[in-house]
């Protein structure tokens, strides 16, 4: 018999992703019950600034009635239909057309799924399918980056470059390779400029492809700016040099825009902000502002032509998901895209990003902070034990997590990611909330520095 307490019932019944399950049995959940704009309220009545947009996704906040109304209208008309075997719905057609119209580079078609992990899995399969259609089925190795994040399914976790997503899951799968994380602060050599660092990473990628055999390498996955790896911004010249290597070896570039799509970096796409020209683009999260689960994979014309040829040869395109192009999710996404555009939401990100960055930048002088980095409404604060040597704290001490908890106690949701703290609020956050978020985060840093005895008195 489950307890009537939500807290106890959760411990007894629900598994939580990315959570220490043993610790959860002792502490239980913070139960969130309502939200408004950039704020979230828990079951005890405490309200927080939602400084992580949930999981980088509630771009339009937690009370956008137009999205609720769009879902309600569609549910009352056609709550579900599948899109296998020549079936379609109006919201799915409208959304695919819109996405192709705003794509950062010309794209041919859109394939819908329910999550970013599914979209990235699909991109892997289509890379294989594409080269099989060309008579090169051996061209199937996939390259990701250390600290890159692309999902937690078997294949998407294999592209991901975070060890805790691999350990004891027997991942990554064979033929999934990784190169250096493009984090200049952590990976740059003494005396090396950002441009030289980018050249070195491009040379590393080139050497790996040559060592593996270009005829065996299918695709390179990259987030325009890395999210779960710690809000890492690409160094100067990085994508220009990387893309030159990929073109030389006929390796596809797949841009994972699950986090960076739809305004997070100040443009519709992170690819626009950082100069990517991808062959496929995966997106999710802010596509519906997280009001419904939906992802999309945008596919270039050469890949579509390969898919068409293969499906004609085999008799069918043997891939798909029950909830792909779900009409309610697509209706919500269509409305979200209208709001981003018509209400000037994305156009307003630059000014809000300048405000947030301007408030966070002075923290680089704090004894616990080594670097403040970001663009738009996507910021990372690097936590260090030694500012001179850039040495991080021993992970076993959990110092970034303690900063996160101190901020949470003060009413700010942020997220510890490795040695960094990420702050990525909804795009609709108000200026006064940005100021309050920065103040609460600064106070949290001071608290932990005082506990460690590292702040001058």
Per-chain mean pLDDT for the chain: 96
Confirm if 7 and 28 have CB atoms less than 8 A apart: yes
Around Cβ 189, how many Cβ atoms within 10 Å? 9
Residue 372, pLDDT above cutoff 50: yes
Residue 103, pLDDT above cutoff 60: yes
> What pLDDT sits at residue 454?
83
> What pLDDT sits at residue 307?
95
Confirm if 283 and 118 have CB atoms less than 8 A apart: no
The answer as to CATH 3.40.50.1220 being correct for domain 31-59+346-452 is: no
Query: Using 50, 70 and 90 to split pLDDT, how confident is the model at 7?
Result: confident
Q: Cα separations (Å) of 324 from 260, 320, 413? A: 21, 7, 31
Closest Cα to residue 251, out of 119, 130, 147?
130
The residue-averaged pLDDT of 65-83 equals 97
CATH architecture, domain 67-342: 3-Layer(aba) Sandwich (3.40)
pLDDT in tens, 234-284: 999 999 999 999 999 999 999 999 999 999 999 999 999 999 999 999 999
> What pLDDT sits at residue 67?
98
pLDDT in tens, 308-332: 999 999 999 999 999 999 999 999 9
What gap in Å lies between CA 71 and CA 75, rounded to an integer? 6
Name which of 12-26, 105-119, 188-202, 376-390 the model is least confident about: 12-26
Maximal C-alpha separation, the chain: 74
Region(s) of the chain under CATH 3.40.640.10 = 67-342
pLDDT in tens, 146-202: 999 999 999 999 999 999 999 999 999 999 999 999 999 999 999 999 999 999 999
Strands of 293-333 (E only): list them: 295-299
Peptide bond into 240 cis (omega under 30): no
Region(s) of the chain under CATH 3.90.1150.10 = 31-59+346-452
């Amino acid at each position: 018999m489950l307890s009537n307490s939500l807290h106890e019932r959760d411990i007894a019944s629900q598994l939580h992703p990315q959570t220490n399950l043993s610790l959860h049995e002792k502490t239980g959940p913070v139960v969130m019950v309502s939200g408004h704009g950039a704020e979230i309220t828990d079951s005890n009545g405490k309200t927080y600034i939602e400084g992580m947009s949930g999981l980088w996704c509630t771009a339009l906040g937690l009370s956008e009635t137009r999205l609720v109304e769009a879902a309600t209208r569609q549910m009352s008309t056609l709550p579900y239909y599948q899109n296998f075997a020549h079936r379609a719905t109006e919201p799915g057609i409208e959304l695919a057309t819109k996405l192709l119209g705003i794509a950062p580079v010309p794209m041919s078609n859109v394939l819908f799924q329910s999550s970013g992990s599914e979209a990235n899995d699909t991109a892997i399969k289509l890379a294989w399918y594409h080269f099989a259609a060309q008579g090169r089925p051996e061209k199937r190795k996939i390259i990701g980056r250390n600290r890159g994040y692309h999902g937690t399914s078997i294949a998407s976790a294999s592209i991901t470059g975070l060890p805790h997503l691999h350990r004891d899951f027997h991942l990554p799968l064979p033929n999934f390779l990784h190169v250096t994380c493009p984090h200049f602060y952590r990976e740059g050599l003494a005396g090396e400029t950002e441009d030289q660092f980018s050249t070195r990473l491009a040379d590393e990628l080139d050497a790996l492809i040559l060592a593996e055999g270009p005829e065996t390498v299918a695709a390179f996955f990259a987030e325009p700016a890395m999210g779960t790896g710690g809000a890492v911004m690409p160094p100067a010249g990085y994508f220009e040099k990387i893309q030159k290597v990929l073109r030389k070896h006929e390796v596809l570039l797949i841009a994972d825009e699950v986090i960076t799509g739809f305004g997070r970096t100040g443009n519709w796409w992170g690819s626009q902000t950082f100069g990517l020209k991808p062959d496929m683009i995966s997106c999710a999260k802010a596509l519906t502002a997280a009001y419904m689960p939906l992802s999309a994979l945008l596919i270039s014309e050469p890949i579509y032509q390969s898919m068409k040829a293969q499906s004609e040869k085999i008799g069918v395109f043997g891939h798909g998901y029950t909830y792909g192009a779900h009409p309610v999710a697509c209706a919500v996404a269509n409305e979200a895209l209208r709001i981003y555009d018509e209400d000037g939401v994305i156009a307003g990100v630059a000014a809000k990003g300048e405000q947030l960055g301007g408030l966070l930048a002075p923290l680089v002088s704090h004894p616990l902070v080594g670097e403040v980095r970001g663009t738009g409404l996507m910021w990372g604060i690097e936590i260090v034990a030694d500012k001179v040597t850039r040495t991080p704290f021993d992970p076993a001490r959990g110092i970034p997590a303690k900063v996160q908890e101190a901020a949470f106690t003060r009413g700010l949701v942020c997220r510890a990611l490795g040695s960094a703290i990420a702050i990525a609020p909804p795009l609709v956050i108000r200026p006064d909330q940005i100021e309050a978020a920065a103040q609460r985060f600064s106070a949290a840093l001071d608290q932990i520095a005082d506990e460690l005895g590292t702040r001058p008195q």
